[in-house]
Structure 1
Amino acid sequence: MKKYVICGVSNRALEMFIKPILNEFSKENEIVGLLDSDPLRFSICKERYPKLEQVPTFNPEQFETMIDQTKADYVLVTGRDDTHVDYILRALYKQVNVITEKPMVTNAADAYKVMLAEAESKGKVIVTFNYRYSTFHRKIKEMILEGKVGRITSIDLNWYIDTYHGSSYFKRWNRSREISGGLSIHKSTHHFDLINWWLNQRPEEVFAYGALNYFGKNGEANPRKESGRYCGTCDVRNNCSYFRRWNPRIGSTTVRDDHLLAGVYEKEVPYTNYRPDACIFDEEISIEDTYVAAVKYDGGSMLSYSINFSAPYEGYRLVINGTKGRIETTEYHEPSRIPFEYPEQKVDYYPLFGGKETIELVKEPGGHGGGDPILLADLFLGPDPSRNYEILAGSEAGAYSIAVGEGVWRSVAEKKPINIKEILFQTDNQLTKF
């Protein structure tokens, strides 16, 4: 029986990890401790999952006490992004394994600290990059390994976050670079890791442009230039296009918000000092909502990447070019929020000399394109022995995804190319590929 302690009793912890451990993987795994700075989160967790009623709770200062008392085998890190590095380093110092949500940490310097600490510890780090596990993403990996495209020369990846999901990041703590690293880290590390994994190459250099086009004090849809508003009490919210798009004047008494299970009105949010409905046009917002970046890899491949956090629909377009062929796919996310008909995702393969091949795949249930359940099985039952390639990500993969994300926002700020090794402080060429 493997023992887990949860560091950060977030909504992601409740739904993504605690629920399946209790309901699907309880024969092999058990939760033996909960840690958070907000005692109200313990109450909510135990009310939702009565099986945890007798599980001890701890505050962050009691981390070492928790490890000693519970004899935990794994620390599961699911708190706010800026808390990750502390829990990871303390767990490795105690020789305990770590499973952490992405991003592993919020900056490249801390990522390097994690790699160094892991090298000196008996504990190992796993980063839960669930996008790797999507049905289509695994198929693309397999096609690359089969040599279908040959040596990869370039990748084009254009990602679109819709007005519902995109604006949610600017209502919460994600809008602070000090806490989240900015969206090129908090969100785009998903995408950079996927590319790094497909290529099995290390990123060397990044050059990017970025801007705050939609949100912040100069957002064109701002109904009134005034900071400090909240959607739940705002007197001009019915003049706000982002609010009106998802909250009609009649028939709606609460404000929907992506990734949240609680309502956004202050009386409905049960957590201490937490409002997830801050105004998306606040003056304090300074991170970017639009990026275009180019990344060069040590194996000769190049990536052209863009992301927009205020699009009419959600999804991505991907092209992989190689010396033997080309892969194309387009995915539309969140169908309930798309107001038009759209095609089902397929993978098109074009050999360099020959006819087109279209691959249709059975969609698997679960979040992140069916990836979540498969990732959870690998975490709590062990890697699938029938899979002939590695898919679980470690600290190095987490670090390189963060380094690219930091390179993106630094390139925007400094108006120059950013060397990945320089910001990662990584000089040990013996680190393994991912």
Structure 2
Amino acid sequence: MKKYVLVGTGGRAEFFYGAIVRDFNETCNLVAFCDLNQTRMDYANRLLEEKYNHPKINTYIHTDFEKMITEEKPDTVVVTSVDRTHHTYIIKALELGCDVVTEKPMTVDAEKCQAIIDAINRTGKEVRVAFNYRYAPHNTKIRELIMNDVIGQVNSVHFEWALDTQHGADYFRRWHRDKRNSGGLLVHKSTHHFDLVNFWLDTKPEIVYASGGLRFYGRENAESRGVTQFYQRAYGSEYAKDDPFAIDLESNEHLTAMYLDAEKEDGYQRDQSVFGDGINIEDTLGVMVTYKNKAILNYSLNAYLPWEGYIVSINGTKGRIEVRIREQSYINSGGSKDDEGKVKEKSIMVMPMFGQPYEVDVVEGKGGHGGGDPILLQDIFGTPVEDEFKRAASHVDGAMSILTGIAGNISLNTGQAVKVDELIKF
């Protein structure tokens, strides 16, 4: 039985530790939590007891991470902490003899990415990146169609991602609003999308150019639209009561326990105003990528739209694939968890160069992302099985996805195209 510890008990953590104790308890043993906030770890332990009927596990404050590894002797460390800290825990875990499963993105900049790669080469240990979008049946089907040469050689992809005013706004309330923490949406969110293109086309990015900025959120944009009432955070604010972009932590027992009750330890405010000061990430982005196989990508992301999902057009020498997926969004670690990753509308249309267009039927499974989440969890924590689509993401996959976003961030600052191969060395 493999032993696991988890570092970072915030909103994304339960996806992993809940699965371990609920679905994989015969092969996996969760033995400890690590976090900078004891209150949050205590709440995670309460969820283990009350929700999963699992005994409490040991807790370690973040400065005792190495002590935890020494005492608990885990086989694998699951990293779900703030993005900018991923590299610290990944590298320490590798050097102490553990494999790692990390939430995306693997890290936030080229320097930290290089440090992870060097540690993997030095230790010979493994890093897995949890890209659940690969496992969604509709995304796997696109990979299958391209693998089977249905539209021939792919030469171009148009990929539009829309975040609505519930999901998109949430990145501007949380720690993600500071690019030092998250790498901005081009790294934190778009890593999913850039990975899908790498996965679908079985190639790697070569040259990246990006444009965009903060066009909707932030105080300056609100003032330009005539807003005159501002607040720092929703908790305790009269103005926030009439703001559809505000989140009320007190009205949600889960959010209260995880964040409001934990503020006394680290001062983290989960409900900051999306129209406040201190936001330095972009909400409107466009990226052009040239790949090793000479295909090109036109990508856009907007984080304030009335619709949530993505529209993709893939153009090949034998035809075209048109994809439209509408998703039900949710507020991370709150809101309607039952709707997490639910697909509300799905269409995959194949348009042969000479022939009648036809829609491809995709059977969705139970669970988030059309049934993709349970498949991912089985792949990570269960008994591995042969996968013709090669969906398991290694550190190389993790690096190639974030490097598109990292190169995009450099391009935003310089106005120049960036060569990905110049950022890191494997």
TM-score for the superposition, normalised by structure 1: 0.88
Structure 1 counterpart of 2:210, which letter?
Answer: A
The correspondence for 1:302, drawn from 289, 296, 304, is 296
Residue pair 1:255, 1:264 contacting (<8 A) in 2 also: no
The correspondence for 1:139, drawn from 138, 141, 158, is 141
Match of 2:333 in 1: none
Match of 1:318 in 2: 312
Query: Deviation per CA, 1:328-385, whole angstroms, max 9, x where unpaired?
Result: 11011117999xxx98312111112211121122222222332111100111113333
Cα distance between partner residues in 1 of 2:314 and 2:173: 35
CA apart distance, 1:36: 0.9
Query: Deviation per CA, 1:394-422, whole angstroms, max 9, x where unpaired?
Result: 11111111111111122122111111122
Residue pair 1:33, 1:58 contacting (<8 A) in 2 also: yes
- 1:278 paired to 2:272: yes
- 1:240 paired to 2:246: no
Residue pair 1:313, 1:332 contacting (<8 A) in 2 also: yes
Distance 1:271 1:402, change over 3 A: farther
Structure 1 counterpart of 2:46, which letter?
Answer: E
Structure 2 counterpart of 1:275, which letter?
Answer: Q
Match of 1:374 in 2: 375
Q: How many residues align?
A: 410
Match of 1:12 in 2: 12
Structure 2 counterpart of 1:404, which letter?
Answer: T
Residue pair 1:224, 1:236 contacting (<8 A) in 2 also: no
Residue pair 2:108, 2:187 contacting (<8 A) in 1 also: yes
Cα distance between partner residues in 1 of 2:25 and 2:264: 28
Once the two structures are superposed, the pairs formed by residues 355-366 of structure 1 within 5 Å of their partners are 355-366=356-367
Match of 1:21 in 2: 20
CA apart distance, 1:238: 4.7
Distance 1:241 1:45, change over 3 A: closer
Cα distance between partner residues in 1 of 2:93 and 2:187: 23
Distance 1:163 1:350, change over 3 A: same
Structure 2 counterpart of 1:304, which letter?
Answer: N
Gaps of 5+ in 1: 248-252, 429-434
Cα distance between partner residues in 2 of 1:27 and 1:264: 30
**What SS is found at the alignment partner of 1:360?**
coil
Alignment RMSD (CA, Å): 2.4
Cα distance between partner residues in 2 of 1:289 and 1:313: 15
Structure 2 counterpart of 1:121, which letter?
Answer: T
CA apart distance, 1:42: 1.9
Once the two structures are superposed, the pairs formed by residues 181-330 of structure 1 within 5 Å of their partners are 181-220=183-222, 223-224=227-228, 226=230, 229-243=232-246, 261-263=254-256, 272=265, 273-330=267-324
**What SS is found at the alignment partner of 1:11?**
coil
Cα distance between partner residues in 2 of 1:72 and 1:255: 38
Match of 2:328 in 1: 334
**What SS is found at the alignment partner of 2:245?**
helix
Residue pair 1:216, 1:283 contacting (<8 A) in 2 also: yes
Query: Deviation per CA, 1:33-82, whole angstroms, max 9, x where unpaired?
Result: 21111111221011111255452221222222222222211000011111
Cα distance between partner residues in 2 of 1:392 and 1:310: 32
**What SS is found at the alignment partner of 1:4?**
strand
Q: Which moved more, 1:329-338 or 1:409-418?
A: 329-338
Structure 1 counterpart of 2:380, which letter?
Answer: L
**What SS is found at the alignment partner of 1:67?**
helix
Structure 1 counterpart of 2:255, which letter?
Answer: A
Cα distance between partner residues in 2 of 1:88 and 1:154: 35
Query: Deviation per CA, 1:235-269, whole angstroms, max 9, x where unpaired?
Result: 323553534xx88xxxxx9567xxx9414998566
Gaps of 5+ in 2: 331-335
Distance 1:239 1:48, change over 3 A: closer
Cα distance between partner residues in 2 of 1:223 and 1:328: 40
Q: Percent identity?
A: 34
Cα distance between partner residues in 2 of 1:69 and 1:343: 46
Residue pair 1:162, 1:313 contacting (<8 A) in 2 also: yes
